[in-house]
Amino acid sequence: MAGSSMGELRAPIFNGSNYDFWRIKMCTIFKSHKLWDMVENGYEEPDVKKEEGETLTVAQKLALEENVAKDAKALGLIQGAVSMIFSPNCIEGISQASMGNPATRIREVIKR
């Protein structure tokens, strides 16, 4: 229908129950925001040897900026979808799972 748009999908708040339902809804939200590939696969930072004077190409820099933004958006959706009752423990767990690629922390929460 011309002139109308679908409303923004809202992340359901996980309060400790109905995890499977919450997970399905979160997966749908990630897909609708074109973030699912980031959640599933993460991203690799370009291999640049700064000590040898190498710099990122314009294309690499733009791709990296886009990936960092997508990762932050996905992480923000997760953080906003956890009840304050669980937030300190969940957010700490997400942060501790962030060794390596930042998308790891997202996968840890969604794939449990």
| Residue 105 contacts residue 90 (beta carbons within 8 Å) | no
The answer to whether position 85 is within a domain reads: yes
Q: What is the number of domains present in the chain?
A: 1
The answer to whether position 47 is within a domain reads: no
The answer to whether position 6 is within a domain reads: no
Partners of residue 82 on adjacent β-strands? 14
Residue range(s) defining the domain that contains residue 91: 19-42+56-110
Count of CA atoms in the C-beta half-sphere (13 A) of 69: 8
pLDDT in tens, the chain (112 residues): 444 445 677 888 888 788 888 888 988 999 999 999 888 888 888 887 776 777 888 999 999 999 999 988 888 888 888 776 665 555 555 545 444 455 565 566 666 5
The answer to whether position 13 is within a domain reads: no
The answer to whether position 51 is within a domain reads: no
The answer to whether position 8 is within a domain reads: no
The answer to whether position 33 is within a domain reads: yes
The length of the chain is: 112
The answer to whether position 94 is within a domain reads: yes
Q: Alpha helix (H) ranges present in 8-102?
A: 19-32, 36-41, 58-80, 87-96
Model-level pTM? 0.67
